[in-house]
Amino acid sequence: MSGEITKNRKTVLDKFKQVTTFVFDVDGVLTNGNLFLLGNGLMARQMNIRDGYALQLAVKRGYRVLVISGGDSPEVKERLSKLGIADVWMKAEDKAAILRNYMEQNGLTNEVVLYMGDDIPDHPVMLLAGLPCCPADAVQEIKEVSVYMSHIKGGGGCARDVIEKVMKLRGDWGEDTSVRAQ
């Protein structure tokens, strides 16, 4: 298993096997955290096509996929919608409250939730997840609370890394000709 497992390997593999719900931050996880400042006042982000494939496949295979971001980008929300992700919160001021509420409404326990974040605003919400994860370039405080640190940086396919691990361990990974890279 690539990436850095920061706890006991067997225990971590067991945690991956339990996941049915993926929760991701946007900037620094689904993007590399860079903003391109365009002349018309727009700010552009770059997302990874392999993350997109894995996100679509997870949705199609019945996994819950949520995105909770402190940022606000209609373009990001539109892309996520095209990938089949309906549960997207932008301009989130209290990510932990959003996830806690979602878990209560859907009867989810911490053990089935994987959260991937990269920076200080993700810290409280990561403590709710049974499997807190981070990209390779996360800040130190997030690395310290992560059970798994991907070998891949934010925006470079780190979401694909954790989705693929879960789905392979659960026997759900494989070709699906109806899923196209977007």
In a 13 Å sphere around the CA of 180, the CA atoms on its Cβ side amount to 3
Residue 169 corresponds to which tokens in the numbers above? 């361990």
Global confidence as pTM: 0.89
CA distance 134 to 161: 11
Tell me the percentage of the chain whose pLDDT exceeds 70: 90
Residue 19 lies inside a defined structural domain of this protein: yes
Range of the domain at 65: 4-83+96-105+113-169
pLDDT at residue 1, as a whole number: 41
For 94-125, b/e burial (b = at least 16 CB within 10 A) is ebbebbeebbeeeebeeebbbbbbbbebbbbb
The CATH number of residue 154's host domain is 3.40.50.1000
Residue 32 lies inside a defined structural domain of this protein: yes
Least confident of 27-41, 56-70, 114-128: 27-41
Residue 179 lies inside a defined structural domain of this protein: no
Q: Which of 76 and 115 is assigned the larger pLDDT?
A: 115
pLDDT at residue 180, as a whole number: 47
CA distance 42 to 44: 6
Residue 48 corresponds to which tokens in the numbers above? 């990874």
* Mean pLDDT taken over the chain: 90
Q: Amino acid identity of 57?
A: L
Least Cα distance to 155 among 24, 38, 65, 4 occurs for 24
How many folded domains does the chain comprise? Answer: 1
